């Protein structure tokens, strides 16, 4: 820390440098943490924060820590911690230390570290960096009203107002002791120093300067024995030897207070990197659950079933591969350089750097998310896809040979983004059409069609072997003999087999359906379709 002086207007500011922007030294060990609060399902922005921490940790052979920040009991949601852990596992983000793994810097759940925070906040009270405040909620509300009446935006408990309030700076020591002993409720506030220009740096945002006079005296600790986020977060980052704090941009406004806390404790701050926001697909602002609901995409990695019966869809249950999801997410804000977009976890680890994380918000694109899944899907070997498709076929009561299923999957996989969409593209391989597309019937089914198809059926039935190439030759021959055009035969045949103008190549379709089934479908169509 470096301290110097500077004059701005009439005030003399103490320049306090808390810059920690030195390049990393070889021997430095990287320790990063993902520190979610268990207040509900983990937003994909949070998953991305965890992912960047993980990529960074692995890149520098460091340690990845999960710390559960559960000191705000009002916002605690049962099941959220388990949800977070399961989400990280699904994404392939492996933890080295955490609530399940344990580790030398534990416990990793803040609610189990209360004594540590109490001890630390007392140090700040002793050194004059913090003070007791006894103002009641009603008194604070009065102040807010007063401020509003005076045309001020908000009432701020700070250097300018603290001496008008009820706290250990304004009360006699005896009175403070009496209140503490009689169990009056209190908070402990940070005493933000006067006339200082605080300078610090962020690996993504660069140098930041803040005048201390503009900052408020934040609450650090409450008389229920619980610290606030700021105190617990800073104390733990120090005690857990965190080298880099990588977190969402929404925490940037807290950074001046955090660096001041490091200074107050006499600790070296870690390096900071605040990640850009994930933005809505269109318009302004942060990607929210509402955007997902409106446009039909999940904003959570896994399906969430909350304690009050509320539910939200997840990427896993929507059919995304974790590799595709993680790949898509990694590129929202980080530019790996080069053309290649499909990157495995190991490739991402190899290329990751905070220098290539942008400052600007990253727009979420649901179409691109599906594109990633499609890319991963088409690269799977067909046997794997067939195995993944099997449970859905079982559900539909469809039985089919594995080698036949593999052939079918090969024919249609380019047309789907998800395994469950394979049904939409393949059902007619397993079931005869229940109805015939009316529009197409009107357009393609002529009075002479049943006669043509019946005669074609007879030729097809005689084709040996019953394979695509031979069937194609039969049809060509038939067209010549009967002086018919392609469309007069192929369209009604497709209608008879599939019920619509959809599906893959007709001859292969016939081969896979088999002689008996093709005949049956032709016969049925000629019998049921009336013109």
Cite the active site residues: 289
Give CA–CA dist 322/435, Å, rounded.
38
Q: Could you write out the three-class secondary structure of 263-292? A: HHHCCCCCEEEEECCEECCCCCCECCHHHH
Identify the DSSP state of 413: G
Nearest distance from C-beta of residue 39 to ligand GLU, angstroms: 7
Angstrom distances, CA of residue 334 to CA of 381, 415, 505: 29, 29, 42
Identify the DSSP state of 414: G
Of 120 and 351, nearer to ligand GLU (C-beta) is: 120
Give CA–CA dist 201/354, Å, rounded.
14
Angstrom distances, CA of residue 169 to CA of 8, 106, 128, 390: 28, 35, 10, 71
Q: How many CB atoms lie within 10 A of CB 213?
A: 16
Nearest distance from C-beta of residue 14 to ligand GLU, angstroms: 27
Contacts to ligand GLU from residues 55-94, by CB under 6 A: 69
Give CA–CA dist 14/132, Å, rounded.
26
On whether the CB atoms of residues 484 and 493 are closer than 8 A, the answer is no
Of 69 and 508, nearer to ligand GLU (C-beta) is: 69
Of 37 and 167, nearer to ligand GLU (C-beta) is: 37
Contacts to ligand GLU from residues 10-39, by CB under 6 A: 35-37
Nearest distance from C-beta of residue 345 to ligand GLU, angstroms: 22
Q: Angle at Cα 237 formed by Cα 98 and Cα 273, nearest 5°?
A: 105
Identify the DSSP state of 10: T
| DSSP codes joined into one string, 477-490 | HHHHHHT--HHHHH
Backbone angles phi, psi at 468, to 5 degrees: -50, -50
Nearest distance from C-beta of residue 43 to ligand GLU, angstroms: 10
Secondary structure class of 401 (helix, strand, coil): coil
- Specify the residue for token string 């904003």: 299
Nearest distance from C-beta of residue 175 to ligand GLU, angstroms: 36
Of 36 and 276, nearer to ligand GLU (C-beta) is: 36
When asked if residue 233 is in the footprint of ligand GLU (CB under 6 A), the reply is yes
On whether the CB atoms of residues 110 and 71 are closer than 8 A, the answer is yes
Give CA–CA dist 24/2, Å, rounded.
19
Of 13 and 54, nearer to ligand GLU (C-beta) is: 54
Q: x/- contact string, 186-215, with ligand GLU (CB under 6 A)?
A: ------------------------------
Which residue in 321, 329, 458 sits closest to 377, CA to CA? 321
Which residue in 43, 65, 167, 172 sits closest to 109, CA to CA? 65
Of 233 and 373, nearer to ligand GLU (C-beta) is: 233
Of 251 and 478, nearer to ligand GLU (C-beta) is: 251
How many chain residues are in contact with ligand GLU, going by CB under 6 A? 7
Q: x/- contact string, 241-260, with ligand GLU (CB under 6 A)?
A: ------x---x---------
Nearest distance from C-beta of residue 120 to ligand GLU, angstroms: 17
Nearest distance from C-beta of residue 73 to ligand GLU, angstroms: 14
Where along the sequence are the contacts to ligand GLU (CB under 6 A)? 35-37, 69, 233, 247, 251
């Amino acid at each position: 820390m470096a301290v110097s002086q500077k004059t701005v207007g009439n005030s003399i500011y103490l320049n306090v440098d808390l810059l920690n922007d030195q390049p990393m030294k070889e021997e430095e060990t990287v320790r990063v943490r993902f520190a979610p609060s268990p207040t509900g399902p983990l937003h994909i922005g949070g998953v991305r924060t965890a992912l960047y921490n993980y990529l960074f940790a692995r890149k520098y052979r460091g340690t990845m820590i999960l710390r559960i920040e559960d000191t705000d009991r009002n916002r605690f949601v049962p099941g959220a911690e388990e949800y977070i852990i399961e989400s990280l596992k699904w994404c392939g983000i492996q933890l080295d230390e955490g609530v399940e793994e344990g580790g030398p810097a534990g416990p990793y759940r803040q609610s189990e570290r209360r004594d540590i925070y109490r001890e630390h906040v007392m140090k700040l009270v002793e050194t004059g960096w913090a003070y007791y405040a006894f103002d009641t909620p009603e008194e604070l509300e009065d102040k807010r009203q007063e401020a509003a009446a005076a045309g001020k935006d908000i009432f701020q408990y700070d250097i300018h107002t603290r001496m008008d309030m009820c706290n250990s700076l304004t009360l006699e020591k005896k009175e403070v002791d009496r209140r503490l002993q009689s169990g009056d409720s209190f908070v402990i506030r940070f005493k933000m120093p006067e006339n200082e220009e605080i300078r610090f740096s962020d690996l993504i945002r660069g140098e930041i300067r803040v005048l201390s006079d503009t900052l408020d005296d934040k609450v650090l600790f409450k008389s229920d024995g619980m610290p606030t986020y700021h105190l617990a977060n800073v104390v733990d980052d120090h005690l857990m030897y965190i080298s880099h704090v990588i977190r969402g941009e929404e925490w940037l406004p807290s950074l001046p207070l955090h660096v001041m806390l490091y200074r107050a404790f006499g600790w070296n701050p870690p390096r900071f990197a605040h990640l850009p926001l994930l933005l809505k697909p269109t318009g302004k602002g942060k990607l929210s659950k509402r955007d997902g609901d409106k446009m039909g995409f999940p904003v959570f990695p896994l399906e969430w079933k909350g304690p009050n019966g509320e539910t939200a869809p997840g990427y896993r249950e929507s059919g995304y591969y974790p590799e595709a999801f993680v790949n898509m997410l990694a590129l929202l804000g980080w530019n790996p350089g080069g053309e290649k977009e499909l990157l495995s976890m190991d490739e991402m680890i190899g290329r990751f750097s905070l220098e290539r994380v942008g400052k600007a918000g990253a727009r979420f694109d649901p179409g691109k998310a599906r594109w990633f899944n499609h890319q991963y899907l088409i690269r799977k070997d067909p046997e794997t896809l067939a195995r993944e498709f099997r449970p859905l076929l079982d559900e539909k009561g469809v039985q089919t040979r594995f080698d036949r299923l593999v052939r079918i999957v090969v024919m249609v996989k380019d047309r789907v983004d998800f395994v469950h969409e394979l049904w939409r593209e393949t059902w007619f391989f397993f079931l005869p059409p229940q109805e015939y597309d009316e529009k197409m019937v009107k357009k393609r089914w002529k009075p002479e069609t049943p006669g043509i198809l019946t005669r074609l059926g007879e030729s097809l039935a005689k084709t040996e072997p019953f394979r695509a190439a031979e069937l194609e030759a039969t049809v060509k021959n038939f067209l010549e003999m009967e002086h018919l055009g392609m469309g007069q035969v192929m369209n009604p045949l497709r209608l008879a087999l599939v019920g619509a103008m959809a599906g893959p190549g007709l001859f292969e379709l016939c081969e896979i359906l088999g002689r008996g089934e093709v005949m049956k479908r032709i016969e049925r169509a000629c019998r049921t379709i009336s013109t």
